[in-house]
Structure 1
């Protein structure tokens, strides 16, 4: 049965900066019902078997265009562009487009898209989310919907988790886009406004989720200033050109690693800030706050909530601070100010840890993205907390900034007229993804049977024992001619592991937030014979480690995860670096009772039980041991889900209040 697909593009009908506003005026219940009605998976996309007829049509169309010369082929592309320029895309045109794209991929990159990728591409084009196993070619699959929509005149945003992938993917796929006469661009944090505007003017733009949200907020703020009465009148009198937005609307987005972008990173809204003209918190005040905080006693003067990263002063603590600040002048005489600054100092001292939560390099404090392991030099903690960290670490003090606008990922991504995405680990998040954003999740079968061997989880009695046992395992794997990837959650443990391996004479390379500029070089060597690589989550999502032929012959890459992550999906991403595209490989979680997540999340009774079981098994494994550590991880996942829900509800309430008051974000 022939079906058509509605499209949204800049123009007279939707304006020069189109975006979906339906969710802004709906109640939460109405929004859920609308998403359910608008994101049903059509019958032919419910399985690859039901999609076979469409695949046959694509094969036939490819045979027809495959023998054409260059001139005739260009005529077909021009004709296709004209056909795709209507309000709705006809199925026959989509079939021809997919056939041309497969031909272009083969001619320009030497890659032939297999049936599973065509099926996945069609699912993306129709607004679904796909789960494709790691190594199955998600990056090239995204080319299918990107080119179709770009040929239809729709601005396409390909959004991914980090700038390494932004640059890599755009560079590797540019030849395919040029085959169709399309322009592709990239948006990076270091670019100025003119470079960003040029990138967004391209048919297809690659960017991170943070950059596109910040640019959207910059556009909104700039246009709001121009819309204000007196500004508008003066601009008209002086004949000044109106502000030209960076973005050409929110028409179509393909989100790579969608569970990382829309789930893991969605617990806090993104805040656009401007440099403050006043010194809200001086270095002297920060030093005083730190000195006073160091003189307080936990349990008596304050309590710490590690899971919320908050410090709470007791009545005794407040009284002590009041007495110790009597001789100080200025804002220290205001109780609210004292309370806030001392609480922030306690947070900086005991809840933000170097090489875990932030990195000190180049005289600066750089926050670490916990889901990717990468430094984020553009981010600053608000309300003076970042400055307190800088004084704590004796670093250069940066400019203080004031928040001027904020937006949650939940609010932003529902403004796209069509949203789709892909990941190798999205199935567990399918319900939240559909409920909040709309897309359904379709599981795509693998083109080749996975040969990954998953070894049962082991837990060592201590970190020292863990590293000793892992080192023995590494020696055995190296002797067998295999390569080894050791994954950690924190820079701290990656450094500790590296020091131990160096001490016992095992050569290796390290990839963490300190070596982010060497990422491509380290990854290119990680698949060599007897190569050992110690890495944080930087070696997880999107990283393609290619084992040498002799390594594949010996059994492939072996992945060892030393530290449990906040989500099981992140652990699975690390495992997915092995046994890609039908190659052999293996993976194992080899944890320790000292693991921070286990210590903090298991109650004392369950932790004691786990300790007894681990010691009885001799750092072995059992179903009960695995169940206990997974329960700790599940506890964190539930808490993060509640935090995302709170952010979403908070933004909804704010939006309604602004709508009543006539304001904007």
Structure 2
């Protein structure tokens, strides 16, 4: 603590002092509300809603509303929020992050701001890290909300659109970050307004906010369609990678990359029968080789991914949980599938994507809670505009945190850990052992089995039992091995007599890259004043020490002349480890900032496209917009083709007419001779008039209502098609843009400028294609919207394919057994003949 903080207190201390009077006010209602009947207490909700309608701010009714929620909680759940929880509720309502230690009742804290903000009627989202916690929290708290006249919903994996819509229309909706994000993307891909499920993003409380907004921020959400690239090359590249010796490649563990040595490059040229591996013509070979090398030499089974039911599933590096439905991008997932000999899925085509940073920043008000946020306070403030308030615990922490024990070898370290577990288990004290990977969990489990120590293993393989296993980790004599963050959100209560033997002992088998994850593990012990202790065991062979530990630290340990069995316990060494962690945290923050810088460019473009889609879906007339597009397309075409050089005038006009004939102009409607007598402005005026007159005839033919509907469908299809292609183009640009640094050019700035030019070109192409399809669309009879959509959606996702020819009728002498003239390849009686 610095000199300033010693005198004036920490930032959190100063902010909490401002909150105390409000907490006192809430508690002052206690006696009054105790004496209300259930019906009178319930009616308070309607009173608050009326006050809000009359213009009262939420802050004005906060003390009374919190007090109502508190009293209702006592009556319904048998739990009354204590002062620290009231503070936490106020912090969340203010749109900040409340750091509350494990076991301080964060789920109950969230009910206070959720109830208050739900009174506005715009919906409140409570986000958790997995389906189990979302269901559990909704089930626990829906009784309270129901008593107060509010509805609750939950968004989990296997819901249909009607169920999702109903859940989002509830006053308070629980769900996971993935589901909320994917629903947002899907809502911006629909053709009908009625198909959307989410409302506007109003107020959000993120539970385990560090896990969701920090740890998962490097991986964007992506909705994919199947691509059309062959998967055979992945098998060939994998065969090549497996044939290499250690002299053929070098692994950089800090950047998690693998590159071929000169010898390896020569082998690649010989293997793939190419002259120059580095040649731009061999980009595809390079791409597949790089991914095969990464899959084989940096991606580890049961650490980075698992193979389950013949499928490669990503393992979350922080939680050890399976990330169902998520795939590594840019062909890495396919390379791992080739490595593991499972079916290789086709490379996907990105249909929609967004980062969690940009998704959550769209909420009008965002807040969060966790046991560990302060170490990432700068990132929360810089990226999300959130400050972190550390709340005091309800009871003083009684847990004893011992200094790290450092060993020379990993083998000696694990032997010491097993000895410690065995000794602790003999006296009945429960032990929770945190590991950094599934692989290490299973190694430790095998060692304990050989010693005959009964234990349970909790990792991604047993996700379904996660909460059940963790909740029992405090029982007497229990030994639980878990990946560091597994079971997060589940309370560990001490069993009978456990306090007498020292409470829960937490053992960390390795320091994590992030101090926050270590703090989270420690925090599993010492809940609400319970006794407990914690210690981390470290070896010089651990990844953190080996890759990021300083040479000075290694030298100190060597000078001490440690044998394999010896350990040192030193505050200086522990401090050096924390410095290494700070370095890694800084690197990771830079990575996330870079991801965000790139996505910010896409986000501005995404907002333009999604806003346009929303206007179309809301049924706004596109008549004026289409007329403007017609004019824009023609004016741009004339400007582009008329060079102003007299010698080439006829040629320019010929090219202009040919170009416009592809879009809308019937052949022979105007000639070179007519146009060459006119000025450029007169040419524009004439061509625009022809186009608008033609379109007016089309509108008269279809009817105004029907042409407006066709305009909507066509524009949506074209926008979606172009946007999907643009996402791919931007991804390719991003992959190559890093090389600009060699030209002393900022890659992110170059990405912004070039991405902006690409976006402008896309907007222009949207106009051209929309006009083209609108002028060519012909339907035999005025269709219902469903028919139009059917005719536009028979091709691959995003393809626009309105019929350009009317469907032939029976009188045109098409036999029932002839091939249908619409081009479907079916017999007429089984195709268009069905409509006769």
TM-score normalised to the size of structure 2?
Answer: 0.68
Aligned equivalent of 2:542, options 576, 592, 595: 595
Is 1:144 matched up with 2:144?
A: no
Relative distance call for 1:178 and 1:370 in structure 2 (3 A) is: same
**SS class of match (1:421):** strand
Residue matched to 2:141: 173
Greater strand percent: which structure?
1
Residue matched to 1:51: 19
**SS class of match (2:497):** helix
Structure 2 gap segments, 5+ residues each: 1-10, 609-755, 764-836
CA distance in 1, matches of 2:197, 2:138: 19
Aligned equivalent of 1:200, options 134, 145, 168: 168
Is 1:294 matched up with 2:262?
A: no
Residue matched to 2:377: 430
Aligned equivalent of 1:242, options 160, 181, 193: 193
Contact 1:326/1:333 (<8 A) preserved: no
Once the two structures are superposed, the pairs formed by residues 474-553 of structure 1 within 5 Å of their partners are: 474-539=421-486, 541-553=488-500
**SS class of match (2:103):** coil
**Deviation digits for residues 484-509 of structure 1, max 9, x if unmatched?**
00110100000000000000111111
Range with bigger deviation, 92-101 or 395-404 = 395-404
Range with bigger deviation, 333-342 or 655-664 = 655-664
**Deviation digits for residues 375-431 of structure 1, max 9, x if unmatched?**
112111123221221221122444542112222222222211101111111112112
CA distance in 2, matches of 1:49, 1:602: 41
CA distance in 2, matches of 1:614, 1:355: 35
Aligned equivalent of 1:446, options 393, 402, 409: 393
Contact 1:121/1:142 (<8 A) preserved: yes
Is 1:100 matched up with 2:68?
A: yes
**SS class of match (1:549):** coil
Q: How many residues in Structure 1 have an aligned counterpart in Structure 2?
A: 598
Residue matched to 1:164: 132
Aligned equivalent of 1:621, options 562, 569, 579: 569
Is 1:372 matched up with 2:372?
A: no
CA distance in 1, matches of 2:246, 2:426: 50
CA distance in 1, matches of 2:43, 2:174: 28
Contact 1:540/1:573 (<8 A) preserved: no
**SS class of match (1:265):** helix
Range with bigger deviation, 471-480 or 502-511 = 471-480
**Deviation digits for residues 468-519 of structure 1, max 9, x if unmatched?**
2222222332233210001101000000000000001111111011111111
- Note the C-alpha offset of 1:543: 2.8
**SS class of match (1:550):** coil
Contact 1:450/1:583 (<8 A) preserved: yes
- Note the C-alpha offset of 1:312: 2.9
Residue matched to 2:666: none
Aligned equivalent of 2:299, options 338, 352, 355: 352
Residue matched to 2:220: 269
Greater helix percent: which structure?
2
Contact 2:375/2:515 (<8 A) preserved: no
Aligned equivalent of 1:285, options 214, 233, 236: 233
Relative distance call for 1:264 and 1:503 in structure 2 (3 A) is: same
CA distance in 1, matches of 2:171, 2:58: 21
Contact 2:503/2:530 (<8 A) preserved: yes
Name which one, 1 or 2, has greater alpha-carbon Rg. Answer: 2
Once the two structures are superposed, the pairs formed by residues 12-161 of structure 1 within 5 Å of their partners are: 46-85=14-53, 89-161=57-129
Residue matched to 2:155: 187
- Note the C-alpha offset of 1:558: 0.4
Contact 2:306/2:312 (<8 A) preserved: yes
**Deviation digits for residues 41-73 of structure 1, max 9, x if unmatched?**
xx9994444433322322232322221223322
Contact 1:302/1:313 (<8 A) preserved: yes
- Note the C-alpha offset of 1:453: 0.6
**SS class of match (2:174):** strand
- Note the C-alpha offset of 1:580: 0.2
More relative contact order, 1 or 2 (CA 8 Å, 6+ apart): 1
- Note the C-alpha offset of 1:605: 5.5
**Deviation digits for residues 552-579 of structure 1, max 9, x if unmatched?**
2221100000022120000100111101
Residue matched to 1:563: 510
CA distance in 2, matches of 1:398, 1:614: 53
